[in-house]
Amino acid sequence: MRTVHGSGVSDGERHGRMSESAAVVEGVMSISGTDAYDTALHLPPLVERALTAARVHGFPYSCRPEQGRLLQALAGGADQVIGETGTGCGVGLAWLAEGARAGVRLVSVERDPGRARVAAEVFADRPEVEVVCGDWRRIEERAPYDLLVLDGGGTAKAEEDTPADPARLLAPAGRIVIDDFTPATDWPPLHEGAVDRARLYWLRHPALEIVEIPLAEDLATLVGTRRRLAGTETTWRNFELGQVVRGVVSSVQDFGVFVDLDGTEGFITFPELSRHRIDFPSEVVHVGQEVVAEVLAFELFRPQVRLSLAALEPDPLREFARHGLGRVVRGSVTEAVPFGVLVRVAEGVEGLVHRDALPDSAFPDAGDELDVEVTGIDLHRRRVTLTPLR
């Protein structure tokens, strides 16, 4: 893909809506990123597989080889979780997976159901890779990330595209990548003769140390690192890590909850709201409600106190782990996902049956019951692996 002016449009933003006229309106003419691999040599096997899927399904907007090799290198620095918006057919995600170390989990969100299914097929034998179908904001459900690649929403390149918040989505010192800019030759950088506000937004973001990396004559990428806290603070404004505090819910958003701590802002991310499965924060709290939470961290530049409600709840997974490994249980399917089915095996505990373990003729639906063996429990990654009984 070749972006001719300014910030351009990401792969994910093109998905399902790109046309020649739209490209002209947005100041972008593009060359197929998928076609850019015609002369590329020595591609990793998983990238070859994703590239074949993109070609078979006529998807032209894969990330270019220059971008992919950068993603592969950056993925090697992640310790736990890598996120991506805009999966497409999975070429960029394949580069990330090829570079990631053993034990690192990868999550990618694709809004088009057809492409999400194609990508899930590409990674069907890679259980560490999860393809989620939905709006790009679903990436917030698995935060924080060691590395987050924005290619399908959250880039601020379009007026209707709300920028992702690195303070909430990145782990301390985590990295963020915003693709598909043209190298800047002037300051401030321009787009269609006007100041490129999207690029300036990221280059001046207070939460990031960010640089622009030219990858080709017509292609540049922004790579930012979330600023570390000043030292390793365990106390701030009379709060201490691990302290239990009371506050009042001031705002409930899809990605989490704001709490008033007597004049100091507190924030609870979606995963820290409950140890049990929820779909919306409003299932747990409402505006005006008093809550008791544990202090997890301090965001000094916001300034903000990170909180957790889940930390004060009994952990059903740890209790299940005491006697669960190797047990045969009957569970109820809670959700069918592209890579398998989630099965509730105890109150507050769900496990994954990978689709490869299920016959195509008997793929279960939500509500069906299955007899499964608990074959793996990972407390750190909060993952239970299940095998259906034949």
Handedness of CA 116, 119, 121, 125 (dihedral sign): negative
d(CA 199, CA 150): 13
pLDDT at 225: 92
- Is the full-model pTM beyond 0.75? no
pLDDT at 258: 94
Residues of the chain with pLDDT under 50: 1-31, 230-232
pLDDT at 174: 92
Q: CB burial class (10 A; 0-12, 13-18, 19+) of residue 20? A: exposed
pLDDT at 190: 73
Both tokens of residue 178? 């915003």
Spacing of C-alpha 315 from chain mean position: 24
- Are 51 and 91 spatial neighbours (Cβ–Cβ below 8 Å)? yes
